Amino acid sequence: MIYFDNAATTIMHKEVVEAMRPYWSELYGNPSSLYDFAIKSRESVEKSRKRIADVINAKPEEIYFTSGGTESDNWAIYSAANAINIKGNHIITTVIEHPAVLNTCRSLTKKGYRVSYIPVDKYGVISLEDLENAITDDTVLISVMFANNEIGTIEPIDKIAQIAHKYGIAFHTDAVQAFCQIPIDVKKLKIDMLSLSGHKFNGPKGVGALYIRQGLPIEPFMNGGSQEKKKRAGTTNVPSIVGMGEAAILSDSRLDYKVKTEIELRDYFIKRLSDEIADIRINGDIDNRLPGNVNVSFKNTDGESLLVILDENGICASAGSACSSLKKGNSHVLEAICVPDEFISGSIRFTLSENNTKDEIDFTIKVLKDSVEKLRVN
C-alpha cells in the first residue's frame, strides 16, 4: 500500500502505542479520584498537557483536552460568542473553513448571530483588506484556519491576529492541519484560541485539544463534573491523552527533518506531474503551502473514477476533506478559488509524510499517466 492521505489521518508511531498501553490495563485509575493509583493517571495527563503546551509555546494551564478538532472548533466558536456577546453578535470567518467551523457558524445564525464569510484569492489566501472592512462595532470573534485541509495554503495568521487585536476582537484558528506540521508559536503570533487533533500528527483518533489564552473569557462547553478546570466535563480519556502528548513531543523533535523531507517529496511530485501530464493545474499557493500537500486537478477527468483506479493499484488518496468524502458535489474550497468547471471534478488530494519515498511517487505518476488519458472526456 502507498499511503498518500495523511491529511485524513496518520499512522500512530510505535512509541505512541507503547506509551498508551499501560493506561488501558494497568494504570487504569480515574484521574479525578484521590488515591495514589489514580494520581498516577492524573500526573500522566498533566505531563501530556505540558508537552502540548511546549510545542506551541503556551502555558500548560492554557491547554484543554477535547475529543478532537471538531469539538475544539465548536467550543471555541460557541463559547467565545456566548462569553463575549455582551459586546455584540457578529462573527467573521472565511469561505474555505472546515465544516466544523462553517456549520457551527451557520448554527449560530439561527440564534441571532451575524456571520461574515471572507472570500479568498485564487491561491486560497484571505484578503486582509476584506477582513478589516468586514469588522463592525459588534464583531466579537474572528476565526480563520491556519492552513487549509484541502489545498494546503497557509494563511497570514500573524497579520490576521494583528487586525483582530487592533479592534479588541478575539481570534481563533483551526490549526488541525498545521500543528506539528509547521512551527507554531501562539505567543509570537498572538493567537487567542487554537484547535488541534491528535490523529493528524501520528497520535490516536478521538482526542484533541483547545488552546485558550489565559485571561480570555470563555464559557464551559460541557456541563457535568469538574474536569478540565470545570470547563469541559466528562471522564478523562487518559490513554488517548497520553498518546497525543507522546505523539506531539516525538513529532516536534523531528519537525525540521519532517518539513525538509516532505517539501522535497512534494516538489518532486509536483514537478513530475507538471512535466509529464498535460492539462493539469496545481491548486493552492505553490510555495506557501503545507509541506506534504499536493492538490491537483486533471482537465475533463472524473476524479472518483481516478480514485478507484488508484485504489486498485494500492494507492490511497482523496478527493478532498475526509469529513466531506461521502457528500456529493464539488468541494467548497475549490469553488472558492474558482477552479474552472472542466478541472474541478478531476481534483485529487495527495498528502505525503516523511515516510513516503520517491519510488512511491514514481509508481503513482505511472498509474496517473496510464489512467488519466483513458478517463478524459474529449
Tell me the C-alpha distance between 211 and 229, whole Å: 13
Each residue's pLDDT tens digit, 91-148: 999 999 999 999 999 999 999 999 999 999 999 999 999 999 999 999 999 999 999 9
DSSP string of 1-49, one letter each residue: -EE-BTTT--PPPHHHHHHHTHHHHTS---TTS-SHHHHHHHHHHHHHH
Tell which residue, 263, 269, 282, has the closest CA to residue 347: 282
What is the pLDDT confidence band of residue 195, given thresholds at 50, 70 and 90? very high
Task: Return the C-alpha cell found at 192.
Answer: 487567542
* pLDDT score of 253 more than 90: yes
The residue ranking higher by pLDDT, 287 or 249, is 249
For residues 196-208, average pLDDT: 98
- pLDDT > 70: what percent of the chain? 96
Catalytic residues: 323
- pLDDT > 90: what percent of the chain? 84
Tell me the C-alpha distance between 244 and 52, whole Å: 8
CATH superfamily of 2-9+255-375: Aspartate Aminotransferase, domain 1 (3.90.1150.10)
1.25.40.80, 3.40.640.10, 3.30.413.10, 1.10.260.40: which CATH number matches 14-253? 3.40.640.10
Domain extents for the chain? 2-9+255-375, 14-253
Residue 174 backbone dihedrals phi, psi, to 5 degrees: -80, 105
